[in-house]
Every structure is written in structure tokens, then in C-alpha cells.
A and B are shown apart, each in its own frame.
Chain A
Amino acid sequence: MTPPRIIVITGTSRGIGLGLAEHHLGRGDFVCGCSRAASPLRHDRYSHYTLDVADEPAVVAMVRSVVRTHGRIDGLLNNAGIASMNAALLSPAATAQAIFATNFHGTFLFSREIAKAMVRQKSGRIVNFTTVATPLRLEGESLYAASKAAVESFTRVLARELGPAGVTVNAVGPTPIPTDLIKSVPKAKMEALLARQAIARFGAVADVANVVEFFLAPASDFITGQIVYLGGVSG
């Protein structure tokens, strides 16, 4: 019998991260989640860590706690992310720092620390999160798109560094999904964005979970450094 997978998911207090945590718990996995806020999830196979993903000592402590508890980590889903809709010329520097801290530095820190465990166990899957806003070059999302472009580049390079160690690194790029992240985006803007997709509808957590499961599958051990966008958007 295959032992339950140990999956770490960042940003599990709401939105896609919460949905993915519920998905993996439903599949029998152990899920270790984190967010700045408490999680509404209560489950005997769920552990929550309250932290900021850009806080290096907190990330190191969490990852080592997970490894001590479970002995290994099978998958990392670097989901935590923030967005800010604003013209570049109207964006404060603090907004740029905050977006890069969560979206890129958080992804980097969790990848670095969990990859150390995965390299030791000679297997593991890292799934990063990008967005269709990057290939679509969406006006008003320059900082968000740029932070995710950094995630994409990091994904491709890390895949090469960790490939010899049996660890794959890929990224999924969701379309807009009705979550808090996009609640402030005007309706007309959102409809125009959906019209640029090959399949013009909102995404769902299940669409993201499908790609994540593909990357996590044992048979996907020859797939790394790939970016998969949903909705028919191309890079």
C-alpha cells in the first residue's frame, strides 16, 4: 500500500490554496499549510503554520518541523500570492516590495528549504504558481506580472539545478478564478481578459488541481521546467 503523500501548500487560509488543501485532504494526503492568518481548515491530517512566507527564519523552522514530523516531503505547492491592480506610474515602491516579497521571495525560500529535504530523499515535486497575466502582458498588472515572470524564470533554472537529484520543478498558470485576489478588478476588465483565452470562462480550483496532480504523479518524473497555463493561453 502506498503511504500517504506529504504535501506542503503555502497560502491555505483562503482561495486556491484553501481549495487545494481540501482537494489533497480528500485524496488522503497529509497537508501542511501556512498563511499569515489562521486557517479555517480543521482536519486530523492538516497542520497549519501561521507565518509570512517571506520571513526566512519562520520558513526554515516550519520546513524542519514538517521534516521532523513526517520524515519527508513529497510535494510543495508554492501557491501564496498577492496582487495589486494599478498603473505602473501610480504604484508605490512599497507595493512593489510587498508583491515581490510574497510572490517571489516566498517561492524562493520555500523551494530552497524544501528542496534540501527532497535532495536528501532523492525525490520530490515542486509546483510553483504563475498567472496568465504574465504572457498576456495585462495593463495595470505590471508588478504582479513581473513578480510571476520572476517565478517562471526561477522555475526553469531550478529545474535544471535539481534535475540530477530527482526533483522536478514546474509551474501552473491559472486564469482568473473567482477568489479574493480578483474581487477588486472591474467586471468589464475581467470580461476582456477572459475573451483573450482560447476557452473564455473563469477557472476553478479543480482546473488547477488537475495540473498539480499531473506534475505530482510518479509517471511525471521526466517532466520539469515546464509552465502550463490554463484556458488555452500560450506563453
Chain B
Amino acid sequence: MSGNEKTLPENVRQLVLQTLPTGFTGEAIFGAAGGLDSLGLVNFLADLEYRIAEVFGREIVLASERAMSRSQSPFRDVAALTDYIVELLHE
């Protein structure tokens, strides 16, 4: 895992922001206020999984049962997605 524990959330946040499509603005990713449609989300999460593997050396699946069973989607905004990825990387 790159970086130390203190900087991991910030590293993940930067990776999320860098992987969002060019021209994407704001914090809301998916849902009523989100900037991505379904296909956009699929593209983004697929890209992000590959970027996580490159940067952190971990093969994780973001659309897991854990993500889908939550009352609030971890894909709703940058902060929630960052927290969720950090949680997965800590496992």
C-alpha cells in the first residue's frame, strides 16, 4: 500500500477525483444530484478499480454486496466513495 496511514484517505480522494470524467465538477457522483448517469457510473467504477490496483496493488470489486446493501450508496459522492474505498483497503 502506498503512503502511510495518515495520508491514505487523501491519496484515495485524489485518485477518485483524478478518475472522474474530464469536465466533471462538484462532489455528487451518482443519484438524484449526481453528475453521472448509469453508464457513466459503470465506466467510472471500472476505471477506478483498475487505478486502485495500479496505485495500491489491491484487486477490489467496488460494486460488492456490502456496497449494495447499504441504506446510503457509497457511490453518491466523493466523500462517501473515499471512505468506502479506504474501508476496503484496510481489510
Contacts and interface: CB of A to CB of B under 8 A. Distances in A.
Q: Which range contains the number of A residues in contact with the other chain?
A: 10 to 19
A119 B50 contact: no
A60 B61 contact: yes
A164 B50 contact: no
B33 interface: no
Contact residues of A: prevailing secondary structure: helix
Nearest to B49: A116
Contact of B42 (A56, A67, A119): A119
B39 A57 contact: no
Contacts of B59: 57, 60-61, 64
A64 B50 CA distance: 8
B43 A119 contact: yes
Interface in B37-88: 39, 42-43, 45-47, 49-50, 53, 59, 61
B46 A164 contact: no
Contacts of A120: 43, 46-47, 50
Contacts of A117: 46
A194 interface: no
Nearest to B54: A68
Interface string A47-65: 0000000001100110010
B65 to A, nearest CB: 10
B58 to A, nearest CB: 11
A209 interface: no
Contacts of A116: 42, 45-46, 49
Contacts of B50: 64, 67, 120
A120 B43 CA distance: 6
Interface in B1-56: 39, 42-43, 45-47, 49-50, 53
A165 interface: yes
Contact of A164 (B39, B45, B49): B39
Given A56-B61, A57-B59, A61-B59, A165 B47 contact: no
A52 to B, nearest CB: 17
A206 to B, nearest CB: 35
Contacts of B47: 120
A60 B88 CA distance: 16
A64 B46 contact: no
Interface of A: 56-57, 60-61, 64, 67, 116-117, 119-120, 164-165
26 contacts: A56-B61, A57-B59, A60-B59, A60-B61, A61-B59, A64-B50, A64-B53, A64-B59, A67-B50, A116-B42, A116-B45, A116-B46, A116-B49, A117-B46, A119-B39, A119-B42, A119-B43, A119-B46, A120-B43, A120-B46, A120-B47, A120-B50, A164-B39, A165-B39, A165-B42, A165-B43
Given A61-B59, A116-B42, 11 more contacts: A56-B61, A64-B53, A64-B59, A116-B45, A116-B46, A119-B43, A120-B43, A120-B50, A164-B39, A165-B39, A165-B42
